[in-house]
Amino acid sequence: MSRLIVVSNRVPVPDKRGTAPAGGLAVALQSALEARGGLWLGWSGQSSAEEAIGPLKMLKDGNIDYALTDLTERDVEEYYQGFANRVLWPICHYRLDLAEYGRREMTGYFRVNRFFASRLLPLIEEDDLIWIHDYHLIPLASELRRHGVRNRIGFFLHIPWPSPDVFLAMPVHDEILTSLTAYDVLGFQTAHDRENFADCLARQGLGERQDEEHFSMGDRTFIARHYPIGIETDEFATLAQRAAETTLHKRMLQSLDGKRLIIGVDRLDYSKGITQRIDAFETFLTRHPDSQRQVTLLQITPKSRSEVPEYEAMQRAVAEQAGRVNGALGTVDWVPIRYVNRSLRRPALAGLYRMAKLALVTPLRDGMNLVAKEFVAAQSEEDPGVLLLSRFAGAAQELKDAILVNPYDVEGTADAMARALALPVEERRDRWRSMMKALRANDVFTWCDRFLRDLSTGEPKAGALARPRMAAVGGRTPISGA
């Protein structure tokens, strides 16, 4: 079996006790790396004012080497905060209005990708498989190819790929699109994303489509396929069951005092539709006064990318909005919205999902949305909660038994909340069973195996992943450095 190299913007380095502070994605990739022997390279999260960057920081954990590089402050500003998060992220989430295209940032993005290539080159061995993750690193394969790297290189895009009318509005669309053709395997979250990508190629007259998933470009061929990412379904279900025994869980139940818990969990990001959701919740409470004092919305929203101005503004906007609803509808002994602006530990989160009768997962656009999947996995079989899910999340393609909503339709979403809370237990069980079946059939280990099988085509044997021990399932998944 070939060795595996994973490259992502941020790397979930194991902590001193040797357990990774990792969610499902990191656990699956680590177990693939452990099985094959491997290397995970990415940004250390540190930046310096100096232009000269020191050597890679190398760490070893079992069969896995971690290679971390610092970046300069200018790199972070131009590549990460600039082009990745203020051009590619909004464009891929259909927010042309928020994209702030600048040549300096674009140049910085390509420069940092060249820099990542220069750090990786001396570490690559002949038969290594290379798996690059997400929109920060799109041009990395073409930079490696320029240096003669002929290894199989795959790319997985965690976020949506937009329709050509949106994508082609980005000034450097041609460079970005062309650099993707340097990969052997291109992975998308949904068939819809893959079709959007194929439409972009066709519109630009790049390459030729051989069949649904195979393309050629000059003398190269590549696969573009959808690999919907999953979660560590069974492990997460166990985590949620165990959490029910903890003190935090008991304290939370006590504080609810019989009220039904509704939960929202999202990184603070405009793509997640948090303000529209709070509007919908307010509309629901106003239209159904009998629900007031009977429900509480717990919105858990860890800060992210606070150095980007849109995110800082959003932080203020959501806090003000929650405060306004609480002021308008709350009473001395009832707060409609509990707004938590920091990250909780993963077991605590699992327990809260299980306690909730309803989850509001209403992004305006989302590659997949793992919160939707985690909520389902955390439910009890006898009395499962209901998932209200945006039809614009990749997860809606698999979780068809969620209550699907259009998050732009505030009144429609409010009505769906009322419907969801009134569902009889038999229907809740039926819906849950069907969604759980989908989550078991395509968990994160299956996702990882499917991608690696395609990437390693031609290899004598691509092994199935060993399942990790529960201890490894502990915290957040900082793959993209969100």
| Tokens 């166990």 sit on residue | 238
Alpha carbons 357 and 259: distance in angstroms, whole number:
10
Alpha carbons 199 and 203: distance in angstroms, whole number:
6
Alpha carbons 124 and 132: distance in angstroms, whole number:
13
Q: Which of residues 116-175 bind ligand GDG (CB under 6 A)?
A: 158-159
Smallest distance, Å, CB 109 to ligand GDG?
Answer: 19
Contact range with ligand GDG by CB under 6 A, out of 235-243, 273-281, 361-369, 427-435: 361-369
Contact range with ligand GDG by CB under 6 A, out of 54-62, 124-132, 200-208, 344-352: 344-352
Q: Which is nearer to ligand GDG, 302 or 463 (CB)?
A: 302
Tell me the catalytic residues: 158, 366
Q: Answer yes or no: are the C-beta atoms of 419 and 403 closer than 8 Å.
A: yes
Smallest distance, Å, CB 235 to ligand GDG?
Answer: 13
Q: Please give the sequence-ordered ranges of beta strands (E in DSSP) within 134-267, or none if there are none.
A: 153-156, 185-188, 208-209, 214-217, 220-226, 260-265
Interior CA angle at 103 toward 135 and 47, to 5°? Answer: 60
By the rule CB under 6 A, 349 interacts with ligand GDG: yes
Q: Which of residues 173-212 bind ligand GDG (CB under 6 A)?
A: none
Contact range with ligand GDG by CB under 6 A, out of 139-147, 211-219, 439-447, 470-478: 470-478
Smallest distance, Å, CB 157 to ligand GDG?
Answer: 9
3-state secondary structure (DSSP) of residue 481 = coil
Smallest distance, Å, CB 299 to ligand GDG?
Answer: 11
3-state secondary structure (DSSP) of residue 4 = strand
Alpha carbons 41 and 69: distance in angstroms, whole number:
8
Q: Binding residue for ligand GDG (CB under 6 A) from 319, 344, 404, 470?
A: 344
* Cβ-proximal residues to 348 (8 Å cutoff; 6+ apart), any chain: 243, 246, 248
The count of residues interacting with ligand GDG (CB under 6 A) is 25
- Distances 289 to 219, 252, 283 between C-alpha atoms, Å: 66, 24, 10
Count of beta carbons in the 10 Å neighbourhood of residue 412: 13
Smallest distance, Å, CB 100 to ligand GDG?
Answer: 20
Q: Which H or E run includes 43?
A: strand 38-48
- Beta strands 214-217 and 208-209 are antiparallel
By the rule CB under 6 A, 226 interacts with ligand GDG: no
Nearest to 281 by CA among 385, 388, 193: 388
By the rule CB under 6 A, 439 interacts with ligand GDG: no
Q: Which of residues 297-326 bind ligand GDG (CB under 6 A)?
A: 300, 302
Alpha carbons 418 and 224: distance in angstroms, whole number:
40
Contact range with ligand GDG by CB under 6 A, out of 36-44, 69-77, 170-178, 340-348: 340-348
Smallest distance, Å, CB 393 to ligand GDG?
Answer: 7
Q: Mask 259-298, x = binds ligand GDG (CB under 6 A)?
A: ------x-x-------------------------------
3-state secondary structure (DSSP) of residue 8 = strand
Q: Which is nearer to ligand GDG, 128 or 366 (CB)?
A: 366
Q: Which of residues 402-421 bind ligand GDG (CB under 6 A)?
A: none
Residue positions counted in the chain: 482
Q: Mask 227-266, x = binds ligand GDG (CB under 6 A)?
A: --x-----------------------------------x-
Q: Which is nearer to ligand GDG, 1 or 244 (CB)?
A: 244
Q: Which is nearer to ligand GDG, 133 or 357 (CB)?
A: 133
Q: Give me the residues that bind ligand GDG (CB under 6 A), please.
A: 23, 25, 158-159, 229, 265, 267, 300, 302, 343-346, 349, 366-371, 374, 475-477, 482
